[in-house]
Structure 1
Amino acid sequence: MSLVVSQLTIDCPDPTTLARWWASVLGWVQVEDDEPDDDEVEIAPPAGDATPWLFIRVPETKTVKNRLHVDVRPPDGSDQPTELARLLELGATRVDIGQGDVPWIVLADPEGNEFCLLRSTPAQLAAARA
């Protein structure tokens, strides 16, 4: 029997703000808690079809490149340029981590955590793998 990933935990100085930002980016919702706490905020997809993310308050800010990062893919019906414009409008910034000439775009969230915007949509990826 395999372990099941319960959630992805992200350390940050401001869990509420960062959780709201990522919920907006991903189209997710904040998971309501019986005991609301600004030190921990969880978000998840409305359909519950992906691993939730838990944002936890820590006193320090990010200082070096992430050891783990998120790759996001444009949804079917959209494309990389459209999603890039949306992410930049929401407050993402372009970053150079030495990636060179690659088909994905490296960005950072408002707290500086790197993530990649991939080029193909889920349907394009499925067609390429078929």
Structure 2
Amino acid sequence: MPDLAAIVIHCRDPYLLAPFWSAVSGLPVVDEDRAKLADRTLGPTEAVLLRDPHGRRPDLWISPTGDLPAPGRIHLDLVGDAEERAAVLEAGATVVRELPRWTVLADPEGNEFCLLPPHEAHAAEPSPGH
């Protein structure tokens, strides 16, 4: 079975979403892209790479595009406790709806993702949106 190498999140504004997803995922923006974000010098179709420096997790690409499908360009299920939930909300996420076993959130551009508590991570069936 192939390994998962990367996840791509299509967006309108990589300057907005790259810092958000870096904070939420814990994956740092690579040095070259961090400088381009700071200087606002990304090309119109240039993606931003978030990479685990230890190579243990898949890369995360924040890729601008002019044609975005509705309702979202991705759907991720994340696992986090109450403290991590607070950090995700502080980073800019909004609560879309509370469900009995998880919470549906949205990033600053409206991409929905789910946050499952640690005890639900392996017991839960796929969340809505899959």
1:15 has 2:14 as partner: yes
| TM score, norm. by length of structure 2 | 0.71
Superposed CA offset, 1:82-121 (max 9, x none): 222221111100113xxx7421111001111111111116
C-alpha distance in 2, partners of 1:88/1:111? 14
Unaligned stretches of 5+ residues in structure 2: 124-130
Q: What one-letter code is carried by the residue in structure 1 that aligns with 2:20?
A: W
Asked if 1:56 corresponds to 2:63, the answer is yes
- Residue correspondence of structure 1 range 16-31 to structure 2 within 5 A: 16-31=15-30
Q: What is the percentage of aligned positions where both structures have the same residue?
A: 36
Pick aligned residue for 2:117 from 115, 119, 122 = 119
Call closer, same or farther: CA 1:30–1:71 in 2, change over 3 Å. same
Alignment of structure 1 residues 49-128 onto 2, 5 Å: 49-61=56-68, 63-64=70-71, 66=72, 68-74=74-80, 79=81, 81-96=82-97, 101-120=99-118
Structure 1 residue 28: Cα displacement: 1.2
Q: How far has the Cα of 1:60 moved from its partner? A: 3.8
Which of these two proteins has the greater Rg computed from alpha carbons?
A: 1
Instruction: Give unmatched runs, 5+ long, in structure 1.
Output: none
RMSD value, Cα: 2.7
Cα-to-partner distance string for 1:13-45 (whole Å, 9 max, x where unaligned): 1123211111111221112449x6622101022
Distance 1:68 1:61, change over 3 A: closer
What TM-score results when the alignment is normalised by the length of structure 1? Answer: 0.71
